[in-house]
């Protein structure tokens, strides 16, 4: 089975974010980056499928030069090769971004394309489904489990309120993978060493013949959220803060 896993590099989860002066994006200079967590689970699902059924895992990543570290990590964990669309993605809306990914996949003849259910930065939760439509393949989202079946694959989808559902579909297909469905592997020393000699195909929007074009949606401004509630914060030593909170819970909120 030939599996492509689309990964994105995003600011590390516990980053302290500051708004850049132009108010269009965050200050990027002092951030550290990591593989978008849901995409890390998609990669893990891809590697496990390869271990079970054989084949190849190709990591696909669109992002600026710094994204090379995310690609290297994917290769070190076991991806066989990678495609890096080296591009600052700020000018690409979700549809234009997915067009880039689709163009890079031309000629790859992937059986299965996996990605995380959403990104931790923009959080559209759309790229996978858009890509499926552009590639004219069936898809399923928020997938917990993938197994091969007679005519293709059978996947377990998560629905709301504790409900699940199996869906069957032919290959090629695209799946967006739920976070937390398995344990993520670490890159081994051997893996890290091997990664250095693995192939990374570098392309750009220009070499793929895809332009960002006029956007369908425009991100006008970003800002820190207005607080919906005035939070009373208790300071001091842990003991003092705890005492103040308990007093409020007892006499103001009356829940103790």
Partner 1 sequence: MSILAVLEQRSGQWNRMSFETLAAAQQLARELDTSASAAVLGHGVTALAGELASKQLARIYAIEHELLQDYTPDAYCAALRQAIAQFHPDILLFPHTYQVRDFLPKLATSLSRVAVSDVIAHRIDNGAVVFVRQLFQGKVSADYRFAGEGPQFASLQAGAHRADQVAAGAASVEVMRPEIAPAEIRTAPRDLFRESQRAVDLSAAEIIVSVGRGIKEADNIALVQRLADALGGELAASRPICDAGWLPMERQVGSSGQTVTPKLYLAVGISGAIQHLVGMKGSRTVAAINKDPDAPIFEVADYGIVGDLFQIVPELIAAVEKAK
**Pairwise CA distance, residues 76 & 50, whole Å:** 15
* 175 dihedral zone (left: phi>0; alpha: psi -120 to 50; beta): beta
Q: What is the DSSP letter of 87?
A: -
Task: Please report how close the Cβ of residue 75 comes to partner 1 at its closest, in angstroms.
Answer: 26
SS3 of residue 201 by DSSP: strand
- Indicate the residue among 147 and 199 with the shorter CB distance to partner 1: 147
8 A C-beta contact, residue 164 and residue 158? yes
Task: Please report how close the Cβ of residue 117 comes to partner 1 at its closest, in angstroms.
Answer: 8
Q: At a CB cut-off of 8 Å and minimum separation 6, what does 122 contact?
A: 94
Q: Which of 103, 100, 45, 20 is nearest to 67 (CA)?
A: 100
SS3 of residue 38 by DSSP: helix
**CB hemisphere CA count around 43 (13 angstroms):** 31
The residue written with tokens 């492509």 in the block is 4
């Amino acid at each position: 089975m030939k599996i492509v896993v689309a990964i994105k590099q995003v600011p590390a989860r516990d980053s302290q974010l500051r708004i850049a002066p132009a108010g269009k994006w965050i200050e990027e200079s002092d951030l550290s980056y990591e593989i978008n967590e849901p995409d890390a689970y998609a990669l893990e699902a891809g590697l496990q499928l390869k271990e079970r059924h054989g084949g190849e895992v190709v990591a696909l990543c669109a992002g600026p030069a710094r994204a090379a570290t995310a690609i290297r990590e994917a290769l070190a964990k076991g991806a066989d090769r990678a495609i890096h669309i080296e591009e600052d993605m700020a000018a690409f809306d979700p549809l234009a971004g997915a067009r880039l990914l689709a163009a890079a996949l031309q000629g790859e003849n992937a059986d299965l394309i996996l990605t995380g259910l959403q990104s931790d930065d923009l959080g559209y939760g759309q790229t996978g489904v858009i890509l499926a439509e552009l590639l004219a393949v069936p898809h399923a989202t928020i997938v917990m489990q993938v197994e091969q079946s007679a005519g293709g694959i059978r996947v377990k989808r998560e629905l709301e309120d504790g409900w699940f559902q199996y869906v069957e579909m032919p290959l090629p297909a695209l799946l967006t993978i739920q976070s937390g469905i398995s344990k993520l592997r670490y890159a081994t020393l051997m893996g890290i060493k091997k990664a250095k000699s693995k192939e990374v195909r570098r392309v750009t929007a220009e070499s793929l013949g895809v332009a960002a074009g006029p956007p369908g949606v425009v991100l006008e401004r970003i800002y820190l959220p207005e607080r919906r509630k005035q939070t009373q914060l208790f300071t001091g030593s842990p003991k003092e803060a705890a005492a103040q909170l308990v007093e409020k819970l007892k006499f103001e909120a009356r829940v103790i």
